[in-house]
Structure 1
């Protein structure tokens, strides 16, 4: 009887630890809706053959600290999550693009399906001359974000908007949105294909 009770308590303790270990990442989810992200294009059916991301567009969560840390090169758009690797596939440079005007103001929109304390939102863009037929790497991006929005640990609402001036670019680019969570080791990643 004593062994059964000990086993039961040990099992409950392990289950509780597992729940605590995973609950931090399960509380926050989101993606960019403007410009539309790859995961949103898969989720709304605009792009087919997307694998599991079509059912989980707000779940591209990977390690925070980008660009020094975070998902590895070639796996940035998926947040380094193997089951979402379709987001890293450049599809021959043929992802649908959002048309933008360089140097103009744009309202960036995040859809938040589960709120979490937030450090900041940052937006990076590819360098001129990058190759849209290859998976995204850090070397493809301008090293500094063109827009940073500090959030001071506050929780965002279900829709978050940021106004910012678009960089002076021409042609096709990727805008990488990074939503950094304050109280976990993770951030959310969203790649949006755009054309200036």
Structure 2
């Protein structure tokens, strides 16, 4: 067999391996979502929101670049984590997403269900400012600048079901809570938007 033919066969074999490497070294296929308050992704999965697209089958996959709010998903695509496959989550639906009833100043238990338990930097919870427009896609300017609840993940692997207790801010009317799960060992975070009625 000639040297050129051997080189060609090795090149073809190497090219065949590259796609398999890309498939097997990508991020895990499942991660986590919030069910208290119920996120938009969770409502889609449970059927209490319709016309949701692919997110209805994978509410745990709203993953995007970490570093929010300085980095991360662009304004208008925060609820989908910047992932165009889940763009339905960024549609405000005229403020008609199902909402969880809460009270300003109440103690509340935030819950995540994790389908892949990544080593964690933190969990952070943001809320929209007074006077924000629930008929518009979520932007950084619509959120209070600091999270109202911060939980240090201590670079540990959390359990499959995670609960955080905190006090809700004093708000009234319709708002949105953005939950951000910052992963320690990847460049990504998980984003969940939950509509609430104070």
TM-score bracket relative to the smaller structure? over 0.9
| CA distance in structure 1 between the aligned counterparts of 2:56 and 2:171, rounded to whole angstroms | 30
The higher radius of gyration belongs to: 2
3-state DSSP of counterpart to 2:9: helix
| CA distance in structure 2 between the aligned counterparts of 1:10 and 1:110, rounded to whole angstroms | 40
In structure 2, the partner of 1:15 is 19
1:173-192 matched pairs, under 5 angstroms:
173-192=175-194
Name segments (4+ residues, structure 1) moved above 4 Å. Answer: none
Whether contact under 8 Å (2:29, 2:61) holds in the other structure is: no
3-state DSSP of counterpart to 2:156: coil
1:1-196 matched pairs, under 5 angstroms:
2=6, 3-12=8-17, 14-15=18-19, 17-19=21-23, 21-22=25-26, 25-26=27-28, 29-196=31-198
Which consecutive residues of structure 2, in runs of 5 or more, have no partner in the other structure? none
| CA distance in structure 2 between the aligned counterparts of 1:29 and 1:122, rounded to whole angstroms | 16
Count residues with an aligned counterpart: 193
Q: List per-residue Cα deviations over 1:82-120 (Å, max 9, x = no partner).
A: 110110000001111101111111000001011111110
Scaled by the length of structure 2, the TM-score of the pair is 0.93
3-state DSSP of counterpart to 1:152: strand
| CA distance in structure 2 between the aligned counterparts of 1:28 and 1:44, rounded to whole angstroms | 17
Going from structure 1 to structure 2, the CA distance change for 1:143 and 1:194 (only over 3 Å counts) comes to same
Which consecutive residues of structure 1, in runs of 5 or more, have no partner in the other structure? none
3-state DSSP of counterpart to 1:151: strand
| CA distance in structure 2 between the aligned counterparts of 1:153 and 1:80, rounded to whole angstroms | 25
